[in-house]
């Protein structure tokens, strides 16, 4: 009724024939009595040639249906940048399907409008070709992931959305029960318990593109409220089995949907300790060539008060000798902004002479060691970061990133992946002093029950791992605890009793007593994958209807007040 030809079907084979097309009026151009309409459908633009009287009531972004003859454009007007750029339709009849009111912003410029306005009119913002293409890409990526997982022998299973509260590190979204007074459901932070139960149930390889709900603050790479992940789990599997699957999926995905180079297989492995010592973070951007080295021994007993009794790290920056004085002054200011007392450096001239305020504190008998450790070379600059052991790596990591940013050292045309492994199982809570889980409490400790019974808990490592791409954490995962004795001891160290476990995790605890297989898995984040593939600065650019940074839905008005009757139904009373 409205169209008999989609833009994607237009070809030279139907030139000269009458067709009916429909879409949005992206633009109207006046060429002296002849009007040219850029008609937009989901992914393409088609030029419509019309007379003024045919479109006198048509406004931009209105929807229209056009009956006309498909012709070739004249050679000088061909636009090879678009699929239909060789063709145009000479309009015989134009029907208005939906008039557009005055726009709150220009569609093609919506990315430069305040985000609150964009989200309030998200249905218009999504017409912007860039944002629209992001959502179409999201669909293609999900289709690829499903096909790939089935190809690898995984079975797609949906797990519940209404669940029980679980201590997984973030706040739960709670839902009051109408039927059971004073009791609540919780939206799942992840399908963690359910997917482990599926392994116990005899499913060999499970996956789903799972929604996860966490009441946490927004960041540029984290959407408040909900996010999606490719959640998968494997029975009779260990860490390397999961790594192999993760590498295949992500390598092929990024090669298919981008033109950038991708880390060759296998992805590099770094322990958490190695990553922090070498890059100052457990989420290293390996496109940045700068590395951190420890030079504490060089300055031991040097008499330099700023370094005395502290850990000293160094970063060599090649070919930075000729940077102006202002560069070093600005970096000193940056160091103070992030909490450092200052930033020392020395310069190595093209003829290998060392100069700078720190040079005199390097003992002459340790010069050779210093050159070797820092890999000092002509025309380079060595920066020094000094503080107590808890802070120094974080400071060094921030300096490393800022140096690469200001000197444009980061290779932009590649995706650099790595696995980070061997995270600590426990840490001491700074406020309470109690021992708590660092990450996932359901992970298998390295060394099993023996390490839990005999080692200092703060020294125990877990079979936990992350996938990092360009400094972004795409996924976390672990080899799971599948032994009730190990589970009981692991939670006991973190202050849980068996009664607590039976109260909070009874299904999992009981299931492990019925022949649970060893199992492991991970969950790459779909939103962050798309953020990287599209070079988006905000995760909201790849989500159709995101909440804003304050966890508000400006389009529908959520969160909203509800009536007193609704509150009574779920036994809730609002307190001021």
| Cα-based angle 194, 198, 199 (whole degrees, multiple of 5) | 120
- DSSP single-letter state for residue 173: P
Residue 469 counted as domain residue:
no
Q: How many structural domains is the chain composed of? A: 3
Of 74, 98, 122, the domain-final residue: 98
pLDDT, tens only, 214-253: 998 877 778 888 999 999 999 999 999 999 999 999 999 9
Least confidently predicted of 82-96, 343-357, 521-535, 542-556: 343-357
- pLDDT of 366 strictly over 90: no
Of 98, 132, 159, the domain-final residue: 98
Q: What is the pLDDT of residue 168?
A: 58
Residue 455 counted as domain residue:
no
| Cα-based angle 207, 210, 213 (whole degrees, multiple of 5) | 150
Residue 216 counted as domain residue:
yes
Contact 419, 466 (CB under 8 A): yes
Query: Residue 91 sits in a domain of what CATH number?
Result: 2.40.50.140
117 in the same domain as 92: no
Which of helix, strand or coil describes residue 83? coil
> Of 543, 512, 528, 559, which Cα lies nearest the Cα of 197?
512
Q: Provide the residue range defining the domain that includes 351.
A: 288-410
Task: Please report which confidence band the pLDDT of residue 169 belongs to, taking 50, 70 and 90 as the band edges.
Answer: low
- pLDDT of 167 strictly over 70: no
Residue 282 counted as domain residue:
no
Query: Residue 528 sits in a domain of what CATH number?
Result: 3.30.930.10
196 in the same domain as 136: yes
Query: Residue 325 sits in a domain of what CATH number?
Result: 3.30.1360.30
35 in the same domain as 74: yes
Distance CA 40, CA 27 (A): 9
Residue 549 counted as domain residue:
yes
Give the percent of the chain with pLDDT over 90.
Answer: 78
128 in the same domain as 70: no
387 in the same domain as 303: yes
Q: What is the pLDDT of residue 121?
A: 97
Distance CA 541, CA 560 (A): 24
Q: What is the pLDDT of residue 416?
A: 98
118 in the same domain as 253: yes
For residue 123 the two structure tokens come to 């249905």
Return mean pLDDT, the chain. 93
Contacts of 72 (CB under 8 A, 6+ apart): 12, 15, 86, 87, 88
36 in the same domain as 152: no
Q: What is the pLDDT of residue 386?
A: 92
118 in the same domain as 248: yes
234 in the same domain as 153: yes
């Amino acid at each position: 009724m409205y169209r008999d030809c989609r833009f994607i079907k237009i070809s030279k084979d139907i030139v000269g024939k009458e067709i009916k097309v429909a879409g949005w009026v992206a633009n109207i151009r006046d060429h002296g009595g002849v009007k040219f309409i850029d008609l937009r459908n989901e992914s393409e633009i088609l030029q419509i040639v019309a007379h003024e009287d045919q479109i006198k009531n048509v406004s931009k972004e209105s929807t229209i249906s056009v009956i006309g003859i498909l012709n070739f454009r004249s050679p000088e007007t061909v636009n090879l940048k678009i699929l239909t750029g060789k063709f145009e339709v000479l309009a015989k009849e134009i029907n208005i399907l939906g008039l557009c009111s005055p726009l709150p912003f220009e569609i093609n410029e919506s990315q430069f409008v305040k985000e609150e306005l964009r989200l309030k009119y998200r249905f218009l913002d999504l017409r912007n070709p860039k944002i629209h293409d992001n959502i179409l890409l999201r669909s293609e990526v999900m289709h690829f992931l499903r096909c790939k997982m089935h190809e690898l022998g995984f079975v797609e299973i949906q797990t519940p959305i209404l669940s029980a509260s679980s201590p997984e590190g973030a706040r739960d979204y709670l839902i009051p029960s109408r039927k059971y007074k004073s009791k609540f459901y919780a939206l799942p932070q992840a399908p963690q318990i359910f997917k482990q139960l599926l392994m116990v149930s005899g499913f060999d390889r499970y996956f789903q593109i799972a929604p996860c709900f966490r009441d946490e603050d927004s960041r540029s790479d984290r959407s408040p409220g909900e996010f999606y992940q490719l959640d998968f789990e494997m029975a009779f599997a260990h860490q390397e089995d999961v790594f192999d699957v993760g590498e295949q999926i992500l390598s092929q995905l990024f090669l298919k949907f981008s033109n950038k180079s991708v880390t060759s297989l296998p992805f590099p492995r770094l322990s958490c300790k190695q990553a922090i010592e070498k890059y100052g973070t457990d989420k290293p951007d390996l496109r940045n060539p700068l590395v951190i080295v420890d030079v504490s021994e060089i300055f031991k007993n040097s008499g330099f008060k700023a370094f005395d009794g502290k850990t000293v790290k160094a970063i060599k920056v090649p070919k930075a000798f000729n940077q102006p004085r202002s560069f070093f002054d600005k970096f000193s200011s940056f160091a103070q902004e992030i909490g450092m007392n200052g930033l020392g450096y020395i310069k190595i001239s093209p003829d290998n002479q060392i100069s700078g305020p720190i040079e005199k504190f390097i003992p002459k008998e340790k010069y050779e060691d210093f050159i070797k450790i820092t890999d000092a070379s002509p025309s380079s600059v060595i920066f020094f970061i000094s503080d107590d052991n808890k802070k120094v790596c974080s400071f060094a990591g921030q300096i490393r990133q800022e140096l690469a940013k200001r000197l444009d050292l980061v290779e932009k045309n590649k995706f650099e992946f790595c696995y980070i492994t061997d995270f600590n199982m426990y840490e001491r809570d700074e406020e309470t002093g109690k021992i708590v889980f660092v990450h996932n409490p359901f992970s298998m400790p390295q060394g099993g029950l023996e390490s839990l019974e005999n080692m200092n808990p703060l020294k125990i490592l877990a079979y936990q791992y992350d996938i990092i791409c360009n400094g972004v954490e795409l996924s976390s995962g672990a080899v799971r605890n599948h032994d009730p004795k190990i589970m009981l001891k692991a939670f006991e160290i973190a202050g849980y009793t068996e009664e607590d476990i039976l109260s909070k995790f009874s299904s999992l605890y009981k299931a492990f007593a019925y022949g649970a297989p060893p199992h492991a898995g991970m969950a790459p984040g779909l939103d962050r994958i798309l953020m990287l593939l599209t070079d988006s600065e905000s995760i909201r650019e790849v989500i159709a209807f995101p909440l804003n940074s304050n966890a508000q839905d400006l389009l529908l008005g959520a969160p909203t007040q509800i009536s007193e009757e609704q509150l009574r139904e779920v036994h809730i009373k609002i307190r001021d």
